[in-house]
Amino acid sequence: MLTRLLLGLLAALLVSPTIGSKDIDWWENAALYQIYPRSFQDTDGDGVGDLNGITQRLAYLKEIGITATWLSPIFKSPMSDFGYDISNFKEIDQIFGTMDDFDAMMVQAKKLNLKIILDFVPNHSSDECEWFHKSVQRLDGYDDFYVWHDGRVNAETGEREPPSNWVSVFGGSQWTWHETRQQYFLHQFQVKQPDLNFSNPMVREHMLDVLGFWLDRGVDGFRIDAVPHIYELRNADGSYPNEPLSGWNSDPNSYDYLDHIYTKDQPETVQLMYEWRDYLIKYQAEHGGETRVLLAEAYSSVETLSDYFGSGERQGTQMPMNFQLMYLNGYSTAKDVVGAIDYWMQTMWTNHQTANWVVGNHDTQRVADRMGAHKVDLLNVIVNALPGASVTYYGEEIGMSNVKTECTEISCDDRDGERTPMQWSPATNADFSTAEKTWLPVGSDFQRYNVKTERGVARSSLQVFKGLQQLKSSAAFMAFKQTNGFSYTAVTEQVLQIVRTNNHNEEYRILVNMGNKMEIIDALVDRVFEYILVTAYSVHTPGETIDLKGRIILMPYEAIVLRWLA
C-alpha cells in the first residue's frame, strides 16, 4: 500500500516527456562483458585462447546485446599470475598473438560498434620486466623505480628484518630480500610482482606513456587493476610504519591479520585517479571520438569509491566497480539484495547519479556455485534491470559453473575453477579449441550449458540474458538518470521488485522470487501489464496479461518482466 502511494506520488511529481539516449553517455548504461582471453576462444590449437579467437567471437557479443568488453591482460608476461605480472606493457604476449592480431581485433570491434577496454596493471610489474632488472642494478633513472629498503635491525637479535610487518594479499611478508641489490623490495601480491614506486614521477610518466600507447591503437578505456594498493605510506625518515592488527584473524601470514591503513586507499591514489582521468579527457579533446573510460578494481568502502569517482573539477574513474552483489550467497533473501543495492545507491547515486553492477570475475566463484544454479538467471535479471551499467563475466550468461580442477604444470591457482574454457557448443572441447588438452579442463556440463544449445531453447539462461539486454535501450530504461524513474523494493522477504519507468507512457516491473517457495502478492498497482519475459520456472508465457490490482503468483526462483504501455 505504502509502495503504491509513494510510486503514485513520484509519478505525479515527475511527469516528464520521454528522454532520449543523447542525455546519457555510452558507459552510463553500458552492457559490459569481461573476457578472460586465455579461456574465450583458441584459434591456433594450443589449448589457450587468443586474440584471433576474440575477434572471431565479437559477433556473439553483439548478438547478445553487449556494448563494451574488458579484457584481462594480454601483454607480455611470464604468466606467474596469468598476465597480471607484466614484463612489457606495450607488447602482446605471443600466447595471445601479435600486434597485427590486436589491430585486426580493434578493426572488427569498431565495425560492430563494440568498445574495447584493456586491463591496465599499474601497481606492479613482473620481476622479469626490464625496468626491474635496471632497478636491481641501480641504473641511472631506475634506482627508485620500485620500493626498496635496507630493512630494520632487530635490537635484540642483531638480525636484519623486513622494513615493516606488512603482509601480502596472497599471504606472507610483502618484503623480499634481493641478493643482488642487497635490499628488500615491496610486493603487495606475489614475489614475482614487485610494486612500482609511484612517488617517483618517472614511474608516473612511464605509466601515462603506456596509456597513450594503447589509446593511440584505438582502445576505449581501461580497467585499472588493484587500485587501492598503488601507494603505501612512507615516514618522513624513509621508514615504513607497522600496520595494526585487525583483531579478527590470528594467522600472521594471512592478509586479513592486519588492518591495512598504510597500504590501501592512500590519499595519493585518489589524486592519481584524477590525473589519469585528466589525461583521458585531454586525449579526447585532442583526438576526438567518444568518452574514454576508467573502470577501477577497488575492494574498498563505498565512501572511498566515491572519492575515486571524484566530483566537480576533480573527475576520477567513471566506474569504480561495484562488487556488492558479489557478496550475496545462497541464503540471501530479497531483503538482503535490497540492502546490497542500498549500500551503493545511498552514496553513489545520491552523490553522483551513477551505478554499475558486477556479477562476477576471474577472482570469484561463479554465481552457480556462490548462490546456486537456479539463481543464475535471477542475478542476471537483477544486474541488468537495475539502472546503470552491468558487468557480466564470460559464461555467466549461459549459466556456467565452477569446474573442479587439479594442479598441473601450467596452473595451480585456487581461482582456476572460474577460469575454464567458454562453452560454445556441445562439440568436442565445447568448440573452444581443437587441442587435445585445453589449459584448464572444459566443464563436464558443457553439453547442456553452451551457447549453441541455449540459442535453441526458449527460456534458457542465454535467452533470458538477451531479453534483458534488449530492454536496456527502451525509453523507460534510458530515462533513469534524468527522471529518477526507478525504484527497487522487497515486496516480501523473498520477492524483489524493480520498477523502471519514463514517468510518462512506459513502465516495466521486474519481479524476482529469490526463495524456494511460491509467493502470492496482492495489489501491486492498479493497472494491466503484459508478460514480456519469463524464466525457466515460470508458468506464464510472454504475451499474457495480468491486472496487478489483483494478485500475482510467483513460482520458486521465478523472475518475470512485465510491461505497461499507456
Q: Report the b/e string of 361-388 with b at 16+ CB within 10 A.
A: bbbbbbbbbbbebbbbbbbbbbbbbbbb
**Size of residue set near ligand NOJ by CB under 6 A:** 9
Instruction: Give Cα 332 to chain centroid, integer Å.
Output: 21
Q: Could you say whether residue 195 binds ligand NOJ (CB under 6 A)? A: no
Region 431-490 residues binding ligand NOJ, contact defined as CB under 6 A: none
Asked if 422 and 36 count as a contact pair (C-beta separation under 8 A), the reply is: no
> CB 362 → ligand NOJ: shortest distance, Å?
6
Nearer to ligand NOJ, 188 or 438 (CB): 188
Q: Which amino acid is at 73?
A: P
Asked if 526 and 548 count as a contact pair (C-beta separation under 8 A), the reply is: yes
Region 291-310 residues binding ligand NOJ, contact defined as CB under 6 A: 297
Q: What angle do CA 285, 291, 294 make, to 5 degrees?
A: 115
Q: List the catalytic residue out of 85, 220, 297, 307.
A: 297
Asked if 21 and 541 count as a contact pair (C-beta separation under 8 A), the reply is: no
Residue 75, beta-bridge partner list: 92
Q: Could you say whether residue 189 binds ligand NOJ (CB under 6 A)? A: yes
Instruction: Quickly tell me which residue has 495480468 as its cell.
Output: 546
> CB 26 → ligand NOJ: shortest distance, Å?
24
Nearer to ligand NOJ, 84 or 146 (CB): 84
From 46, 91, 143, 363, residue interacting with ligand NOJ (rule: CB under 6 A) = 363
Residue 152, beta-bridge partner list: 161
Q: Could you say whether residue 369 binds ligand NOJ (CB under 6 A)? A: no
Region 102-121 residues binding ligand NOJ, contact defined as CB under 6 A: 121
Catalytic, 150? Answer no
Q: Treating both helix axes as pointing N-terminal to C-terminal, what angle do 376-385 and 461-471 enclose, rounded to 10 degrees?
A: 10
> CB 81 → ligand NOJ: shortest distance, Å?
5
Q: List the catalytic residue out of 50, 85, 127, 225.
A: 225
Nearer to ligand NOJ, 128 or 363 (CB): 363
- Listed in sequence order, the residues at least 6 apart from 99 whose beta carbon sits closer than 8 Å to its beta carbon are 91, 92
Nearer to ligand NOJ, 309 or 393 (CB): 393
> CB 85 → ligand NOJ: shortest distance, Å?
7
What phi and psi values does residue 414 have, to the nearest 5 degrees?
-70, -5
Residue nearest to ligand NOJ (CB): 84
Q: Could you say whether residue 86 binds ligand NOJ (CB under 6 A)? A: no
Catalytic, 143? Answer no
> CB 22 → ligand NOJ: shortest distance, Å?
35
- Listed in sequence order, the residues at least 6 apart from 248 whose beta carbon sits closer than 8 Å to its beta carbon are 256
Nearer to ligand NOJ, 360 or 421 (CB): 360
Contacts 24+ apart (CB under 8 A), 298-305: 298/227, 298/228, 298/265, 299/228, 299/323, 300/227, 300/228, 300/264, 300/265, 302/343, 302/344, 302/346, 302/347, 302/348, 303/347, 304/228, 304/265, 305/347, 305/348
From 42, 50, 81, 506, residue interacting with ligand NOJ (rule: CB under 6 A) = 81
Q: Could you say whether residue 243 binds ligand NOJ (CB under 6 A)? A: no
Region 221-240 residues binding ligand NOJ, contact defined as CB under 6 A: 225-226
Q: Could you say whether residue 84 binds ligand NOJ (CB under 6 A)? A: yes
Positions marked active-site: 225, 297
Residue numbers at the binding site for ligand NOJ (CB under 6 A) = 81, 84, 121, 189, 225-226, 297, 362-363
